[in-house]
Amino acid sequence: MRANVAGRLLQHYVDKSRSLPWRSPPGSPAPDPYRVWLSEVMLQQTTVAAVAPRFERFIARWPTVQALAAAPDEDVLGEWAGLGYYARARNLIACGREVAERGGFPDTEAELRKLPGVGDYTAAAIAAIAFGRRAVVIDSNVERVAARLQGLANPTKSQLREAVEAITPDERSGDFAQAMMDLGATICRPRSPLCADCPLRSDCAAFASGSPELFPKPKAKRRKPVRYGIARWIERDGTIWLVRRPSRGLLGGMAALPGPDWTDEKPEPREVLAQVRHVFTHFALELSIVRSDEAPGDGWWQPIRSLDQAGLPTLYRRAVDAVLSSGVKIAA
């Protein structure tokens, strides 16, 4: 089964592979490890559609890992703004500098896992795609494909790894890994899978069952707790006061409106200009934006007309937009 499944999937990849800016065409020389690593970091918890234009901006600005390593932290964090999960950006900086210092990326999973922010999946993906190593590459799309092939409603991680291990070929492992990702993203979708277009349907237990969407069973979602915060709107001559958040913690190192730490208790602030609700991985935040006069701590005056250049993460960009669209009079 292994050779048969792998062969059909690789041929499907040759015929139907997605053209993405970090990939090399099927069967061609492997892409630069820097491009593979950067794309894999960006794609964690973020869609291909959102990543593609941002990836190209990064590459245009920092075409090599050495260029990225030499960039100031605030420039990289600012360029990352809007992609979310900002610990990835801090790990990107640390990893890029370590790779530049050692003269390049290691080519084995074991050595790649030693780099900052590089976990099992990313190490396997880089080893397979950039260096042609046989590696078992498993992301959420691949998990779904494996669960359906085996007919596993409640699969364990070890079962999924065994299933992917069993069909991973010794050659062209990078193409195979990307073929599995593409299959899960475009055909073996969570809802309404396009089984008629799948090259593996004759080996798929979920397809044979007649109800492929039932595999694997969706995980129950937990209700997220709510936290509360206050952000201060401090304005002067067409500018607003921005600060940089502490380097550690949520949104670490990012530009922000000043304000106290977020709490579990709902405040009752005065002169609320606008409110926004933002959902993080583990909680939802209700942020009230209030007018203030005093510019606290270290920061800078950012012209309102050039806010796009400030590197604000989504939360604070939404907060600023809420104030600007609220009808509150803003000094020119």
Catalytic residue positions? 40
Q: Are 133 and 109 in contact (CB under 8 A)?
A: yes
Amino acid, res. 126: I
What is the C-alpha separation between 260 and 121, in angstroms, rounded? 37
* Closest residue by Cα to residue 16 from 199, 206, 213, 190: 199
| Residue position matching structure tokens 């709510």 | 226
Cis, peptide link before residue 216, omega less than 30° from 0: yes
Residue 142, token pair as written in the block: 């691949």
Residue 233, token pair as written in the block: 């709107």
Between helix 33-43 and helix 87-102 the angle, nearest 10°, is 160
φ/ψ of residue 21, rounded to 5: -65, -15
The residues, any chain, with a CB within 8 Å of residue 68's CB and separated by 6 or more, are 34, 58, 62, 76, 92, 93, 96, 100
Residue 57, token pair as written in the block: 């901006």
How does DSSP assign 151-220, residue by residue?
T-SS--HHHHHHHHHHH--SS-HHHHHHHHHHHHHHTS-SSS--GGG-TTGGG-HHHHHT-GGGSSPPPP
Any bridge partners for residue 234, and if so which? 292
Amino acid, res. 201: R
Residue 58, token pair as written in the block: 């990064």
Q: Are 83 and 92 in contact (CB under 8 A)?
A: no
Residue 276, token pair as written in the block: 């926004």
